Structure 1
Amino acid sequence: MLTRVSLLHISPKPGEITHNRKLIEMGILRSADLGATWIITPELAVCGYFFSDVVGTDWIPSASDEWLGRLQTLASSRKLNLIICQPERDAATGNLHNTAYVIDSMGKIAGKHRKIMVHPGLEEGWSTPGETIQPVLIDGVNVGILICADIYEGQLAMQHKDKGAQLLICPAAWGAKYGPGDRWERRTLEASIPLWVCNRTGTEKNVDWIGGESVVSKDGRRLLSHSGMQNSLLIFDWDMSLMELESKHFQVYQLIG
């Protein structure tokens, strides 16, 4: 069963929520037109990494956000599975989380992951660490979601493996200066399951993501990799039955926005 996947390798503008959402929607629609049915955004794609310096945190919505509702309708109408990275306000506790939402092809929020290994201080001091590791069922595939530093060490990936994950997806904002080294490849060896990393590009404050890579990895090897300064769609084909890469390279499409 071949599935076409699109990684949105984009440069969100810090605090420019409307602009970033339009860029994401544009990326989703173009990806769908290119045949992709799984579409993934990088960490904090909706707001940029240092958004709190610009707009604070009062704007952060709960899961009932109107914009996410629009994406649910779009996912249902186009039969898309979306991983959308947007900060979340817990409706019960008021805590803020760095969250990746999974919207399935039925238009439902099938699950979410709250980043566990948050950076303290100014970078992610607004975010309360998540506590739960639970794979999300997406079109019959158990998917473990980890956000950026969650995959720095192997224990969280192994927890997903122990709970039945068949695939790991990692939305990231991993800069080029202190790169991941071989950590992504090591996670695939330790857990014996493949990994897709959707990283961002661009610059904010003193962080440079232009050399940051989006990656497909399996069995300890980096099979596909892309870095660059342009907003891009990275398209590849994946066999979900065999958990094998079918593409020899990313198809890269520039996204103007």
Structure 2
Amino acid sequence: MKIALLHLNLSGGPQEKNLEVLCKSIKMAANSGAKWILTPEMALQGYFFTQLGREYVWEKEITNIIQPVLDLAKELQVTVFLGCGELDHDDGKKYNSCLIIDTKGEIIDKHRKLKIVGSATEGWSTAGKRLTCLRYEGVSIGVLVCADAWYGENGAQLGEMGAELILVIAAWPPGCGGPPEKAWERCSKMSGGRPVIVCNQTGNTRGMNCFIAKSAAIIDGELKFSYQGEAAILMMDFNKKEKVFTSTQFNIISFT
């Protein structure tokens, strides 16, 4: 199975532009054979969306915003792991989430970031309450958002929950809380050696230099291959039966 990582410049937004970029890149990934498509953390609004002087109006239903992505998932028969901020209309709180969108264009599950970074950039969000592990297309998938992967106990618990693959969406360059590669390797190791795939992002907004941020593939506690640099769609192969990578490097598709 081909998995695509959308290693894109999205942190500055605005949402309307990001949505266009996401739809274009999802189409490109699907046309290249991807079945699962990962976006970075906060790919919809942009990681710094509250810090750039633009008013943001929250929708009670996230589907009102992301309908184009839902439609594409159904049309192209792909699964999308979408990073976005969402308002929970039941508790009135806002969350930094990864939505899992299936090939019917439906949100089948979500992971809400557990470890909120103590800065104004994430001050709008509330910490999630649970780890997410779901059985999907023959694979038990654990999902984490960025700093969640720093805490080895999250990897360990996902392993105990039966996760066979851990997906991490991120906005995490070096220097933000320490070397992220070490955290990802620790996450894999403490999960029992499970494969970990990290979709990071590029660009430089408010001094956060993601041109040096890596998207990566890790297994058995060891980083196997990675990418950093300009915006690109990163293609890789994963054997769903054996639960291992069959790629030794990313196939890089330039995105402009």
TM range (shorter): over 0.9
CA RMSD of aligned residues (A): 1.5
Instruction: Name the SS for the 1:196 alignment partner.
Output: strand
Report the Cα offset of residue 238 of structure 1. 0.8
Q: Distance in 1 between matches of 2:87 and 2:55?
A: 9
Equivalent residues of 1:110, 1:136 under 8 A apart? no
Gaps of 5+ in 2: none
Q: Which amino acid aligns with 1:125?
A: G
Equivalent residues of 2:225, 2:250 under 8 A apart? yes
User: TM-score scaled by structure 2?
Assistant: 0.94
The counterpart of 1:30, out of the listed 2, 8, 28, is 28
Q: Residue 253 of structure 1 corresponds to which residue in structure 2? A: 253
Q: Which amino acid aligns with 2:195?
A: P
In the TM superposition, 1:178-189 aligns within 5 A as 178=176, 179-189=179-189
When residues 135 and 28 of structure 1 are mapped into structure 2, their CA distance, relative to the original with a 3 A threshold, is: same
Deviation readout 1:83-110 (Å, 9 max, x if unpaired): 0111000111110100110001222211
Q: How many residues were matched structurally?
A: 253
When residues 98 and 171 of structure 1 are mapped into structure 2, their CA distance, relative to the original with a 3 A threshold, is: same
Identity of aligned residues (%): 29
Q: Distance in 1 between matches of 2:225 and 2:173?
A: 18
Q: Which amino acid aligns with 1:131?
A: K
When residues 209 and 37 of structure 1 are mapped into structure 2, their CA distance, relative to the original with a 3 A threshold, is: same
Q: Residue 166 of structure 2 corresponds to which residue in structure 1? A: 168
Q: Residue 201 of structure 2 corresponds to which residue in structure 1? A: 200
Q: Distance in 2 between matches of 1:27 and 1:181?
A: 25
Q: Residue 100 of structure 2 corresponds to which residue in structure 1? A: 102
Q: Distance in 2 between matches of 1:181 and 1:23?
A: 27
Instruction: Name the SS for the 1:77 alignment partner.
Output: helix
Instruction: Name the SS for the 2:218 alignment partner.
Output: strand
Are 2:155 and 1:157 aligned? yes
When residues 167 and 63 of structure 1 are mapped into structure 2, their CA distance, relative to the original with a 3 A threshold, is: farther
When residues 158 and 136 of structure 1 are mapped into structure 2, their CA distance, relative to the original with a 3 A threshold, is: same
Deviation readout 1:12-50 (Å, 9 max, x if unpaired): 152411111111111100000000010000001112221
Q: Distance in 2 between matches of 1:56 and 1:94?
A: 21
Q: Distance in 1 between matches of 2:28 and 2:4?
A: 10
Gaps of 5+ in 1: none
Segment drifting more, 245-254 vs 50-59: 50-59
